[in-house]
Every structure is written in C-alpha cells, then in structure tokens.
Structure 1
Amino acid sequence: MVTFAYATTATAIAAFLILLPLSCSSESILNHHDDDGFSSVTQSDVDLLEFPLNLVYLEAEFFLYGAFGHGLDTVDPSLTLGGPTRVGAKRAHWTTSLGMPLRNLDSKKLDT
C-alpha cells in the first residue's frame, strides 16, 4: 500500500511538471491553429489550466510572507514578466449612507 502512495505521488508530480510549461504560456496556446484556421484550445480551457497555477502562486506568496516576511516579487522579480506592478493594501474610508463616518462598532454594546 505504501508503494502505491509513492507511485501515485510521483505520477502526480510528473504530470504537474509536464503540464506546467503549457499553463505558463497561454499566448502560445491561443495562437496555435488547426488546419481549418480555428483555435484548437478555447479561452475557457486556458482559464481552467491557469486557475491551479494561480493557486500555487498564492500558496507560495502565503508561505514566503510567513517564513521570510516578503513575497515572490522579492525572491524572483522576473516571475511577472512585464505584468502590472502590485498596488498593495490601502485603507478604505467607509461611510454610512448618511455620509457620516462609521465608528468602531465593537465599542458599542448591542442589546440582544
């Protein structure tokens, strides 16, 4: 039973490593055409391939911030490959519908 678990894990890792270059190059996938001139892979298929890759990047960001205090942009700035720069978190200025600023609701006692 243990051998099966190792074989399954090795197969999953091998499949991931084979499919990773395909999911990173969505431009080349979309520009590939059949003999009829139609694209062989639809945008929804590309989105389905890129979604797990985005989860891997999110996981890497989470663990890098937890372990080292910085993210992927510090570890390897070339990963974005000319993408947009990140904006970062900004404080939201919340107001009520009357235009009055919201107060800290935790300080008020609510009768229930």
Structure 2
Amino acid sequence: LALVDYLSTRRYDAHLRRLRRQLAERKQRAWQALLRYLPAEVKIHHNDSGYFLWLELPEPLDAGELSLAALTHHISIAPGKMFSTGENWSRFFRFNTAWQWGEREEQAVKQLGKLIQERL
C-alpha cells in the first residue's frame, strides 16, 4: 500500500526526472572518456535511449579475448557474443554507462584503451 501511495505522488515523478538527468550526465562523461582514451580505430555506436554504448573493435580483435584481459585489471565489459549466436558480434562489446562516474571509472577506461592499443 505504501508503494501505491508513493507511485501516485509527484515525488515519484520528480525522482524519475532526477534519475534520467543523472543517467544522461553519466553517459556523457563515459562517452567523453571513451573518446579520450580509446584508439581512434574503435567505433562507438551511440543510441539516445538507454545507458549502454556499443563499441566495435577493429579487425582482427576479439571482444571476448579483450574481456578476459580486462578482467585481470578488474574491468568488466560484456562481449557481443553474449547477446547473439552469430559470429558477426565477436568484435563488439557493450559498455555500461549507468555507474556513478569517478576517478576509478576514468582509470578503468584509460586501462581499457591501453589493452586495446596493445592488441592493434
């Protein structure tokens, strides 16, 4: 009953507006960091909705292999193979931008850029 009361008030609408604004700001900060630290050969596929970005690695790089290397640095990315049965997603990975952005996330993107650069 308390949930019904909360959902029917304007506080919930205000919460959603604030959350949308925060997610948009986080996505923008992540986008800027990716542009700053990733090699130019990496394509960033932007979508106005949602808080994920799809990144496309240049051939012959494999996002699954990059994911394993990134995990050794405590960086988690989602290889495209997780979302498709086809091989055409092997160079793609999904990047979550919903996290609160800070120095740790900035350094993780910087390290990810180094890992990609080493494989080019």
Provide TM-score, normalisation by structure 2.
0.29
Structure possessing the higher radius of gyration over alpha carbons: 1
Q: TM-score, normalised by structure 1?
A: 0.31
Q: Higher strand share goes to which structure?
A: 2
Relative contact order (C-alpha < 8 Å, sep 6+): which is higher? 2
